[in-house]
């Protein structure tokens, strides 16, 4: 089955499920009334453009394959997996970055994006990176609700909040940009112990957003950290292929987060949490790129594609940026290309059917 045919089939599955459950899409054609996104650079659509941080992607060649070839702050050549998910759910525009001027008036009716590159479960690391911590993202969501009540009225606002899809991406920067490169941390804690700390923050976040009305929450697992081009360069020590110990740590953390999600669902009435497994689909693509139409999985398209752990080395003067990003699994040394995000989004849609039922 071709990818376009598969996406059409997935959309029909969503529509069928939606009709069966008698959902209300706020007088629109979307399968959920709104999308709220929290987390890190994998889902940031431009909040960091308005922060005093080096972790920005609001300049070329970022966004070169996006609408109007515009660098919006997305760490990608084009769409993020969450953008593609919004497309599939029937949205014609994307929920705005909360710190942007676009986050006002009727634009807020379809949700908002609170994510911030270099943020994550580790609040201290996010703070040092001048990113929006997860607790602060929750505070912004609470502030957003006040604005929504004024725009939509309290009754409609409550319906939007309850029926919305909530997405969280976190953990990768905690490990790759913090734990593995911080001698103090990795001597003080084993990866297992550090993972427990992060799971505690995950539990606090889910409890907090639940308290603010969220009921349908999708959370991405860790990807195969050892397969990121930056991780291969920094931690591989000429090891062929992916860095095995990093992948082992990621798998161990993913088990913890799944267990924590199951505990929360038993504890909090009406809560549905789906942990999206992005480890396996991305690992499969990296191990057999040609099976998915890719030619390169070891380095990113932008710049050298090897050491761009921040956006600083992927910039308008980057030498050697590839001509066709669809051939590359990674756009820079950490973030997937739009083509790889499409593969991830297809996998997430299959896993996330329970979030609209």
Q: Which pLDDT does position 19 carry in this prediction?
A: 44
- 333 assigned to some structural domain: no
Total domains in the fold of the chain? 1
- 44 assigned to some structural domain: yes
Q: Which residues contact 92 (CB under 8 A, 6 or more apart)?
A: none
Options 333, 335, 337, 346, the catalytic residue? 335
**pTM beyond 0.95:** no
d(CA 175, CA 250) in angstroms, rounded, equals 9
CATH number at residue 204: 3.40.50.1110
- 187 assigned to some structural domain: yes
Q: Identify whether 130 is a catalytic site residue.
A: no
- 318 assigned to some structural domain: no
- 25 assigned to some structural domain: yes
> Could you list the residue range(s) of the whole structural domain that residue 206 is in?
3-295+339-356
The tens-digit pLDDT sequence of the chain (357 residues) is 455 555 555 555 555 444 443 444 334 578 999 999 999 999 999 999 999 999 999 999 999 999 999 999 999 999 999 999 999 999 999 999 999 999 999 999 999 999 999 999 999 999 999 999 999 999 999 999 999 999 999 999 999 999 999 999 999 999 999 999 999 999 999 999 999 999 999 999 999 999 999 999 999 999 999 999 999 988 988 778 999 999 999 999 999 999 999 999 999 999 999 999 999 999 999 999 999 999 999 999 997 655 544 445 688 877 778 999 999 999 999 999 999 999 999 998 889 988 876
Q: Which pLDDT does position 349 carry in this prediction?
A: 85
Options 40, 41, 119, 346, the catalytic residue? 41
Q: Identify whether 83 is a catalytic site residue.
A: no
Q: CB of 298 within 8 A of CB of 232?
A: yes
- 304 assigned to some structural domain: no
- 273 assigned to some structural domain: yes
What distances in angstroms separate CA 236 from CA 106, 181, 231, 245, one per listed residue?
Answer: 48, 13, 7, 10
Cα atoms in the 13 Å half-sphere on the side-chain side of 99: 20
Options 44, 249, 332, 346, the catalytic residue? 332
Phi, psi of 273, rounded to the nearest 5 degrees:
-120, 125
- 180 assigned to some structural domain: yes
d(CA 319, CA 303) in angstroms, rounded, equals 5
Q: Identify whether 169 is a catalytic site residue.
A: no
Q: Which pLDDT does position 321 carry in this prediction?
A: 87
């Amino acid at each position: 089955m071709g990818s376009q045919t598969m996406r059409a089939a997935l959309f029909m599955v969503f529509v069928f499920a939606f009709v069966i459950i008698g959902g209300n899409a706020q007088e629109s054609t979307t399968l959920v009334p709104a999308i709220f996104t929290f987390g890190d650079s994998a889902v940031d659509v431009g909040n960091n453009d308005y922060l005093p941080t080096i972790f920005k992607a609001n300049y070329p060649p970022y966004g070169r394959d996006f609408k109007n070839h515009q660098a919006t702050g997305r760490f990608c050549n084009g769409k993020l997996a969450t953008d593609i998910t919004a497309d599939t759910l029937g949205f014609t525009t994307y929920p705005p970055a909360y710190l942007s001027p676009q986050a006002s008036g009727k634009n807020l009716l379809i949700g908002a994006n609170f994510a911030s590159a270099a943020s994550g479960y580790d609040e201290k690391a996010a703070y040092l990176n001048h990113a929006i911590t997860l607790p602060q993202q929750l505070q912004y969501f609470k502030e957003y609700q006040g604005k929504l009540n004024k725009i939509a009225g309290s009754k409609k606002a409550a319906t939007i909040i309850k029926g919305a899809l909530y997405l969280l991406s976190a953990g990768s920067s905690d490990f790759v940009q913090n734990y593995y490169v911080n001698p103090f941390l990795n001597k003080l804690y084993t990866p297992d112990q550090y993972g427990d700390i992060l799971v505690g923050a995950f539990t606090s976040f889910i409890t907090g957003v639940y308290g603010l009305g969220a009921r349908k929450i999708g959370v991405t697992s860790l990807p195969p950290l050892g397969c990121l081009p930056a991780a291969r360069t920094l931690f591989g020590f000429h090891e062929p292929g992916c860095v095995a110990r990093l992948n082992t740590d990621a798998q161990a953390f993913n088990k913890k987060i799944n267990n924590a999600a199951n505990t929360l669902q038993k504890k909090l009435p009406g809560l549905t949490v789906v942990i999206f497994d992005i480890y396996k689909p991305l690992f499969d693509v990296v191990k057999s790129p040609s099976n998915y139409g890719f030619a390169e999985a070891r380095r990113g398209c932008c710049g050298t594609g090897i050491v761009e752990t921040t956006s600083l080395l992927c910039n308008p003067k980057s030498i050697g940026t590839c001509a066709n990003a669809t051939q590359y699994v990674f756009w820079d040394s950490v973030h997937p290309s739009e083509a790889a995000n499409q593969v991830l989004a297809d996998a997430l849609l299959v896993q996330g059917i329970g979030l609209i039922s």
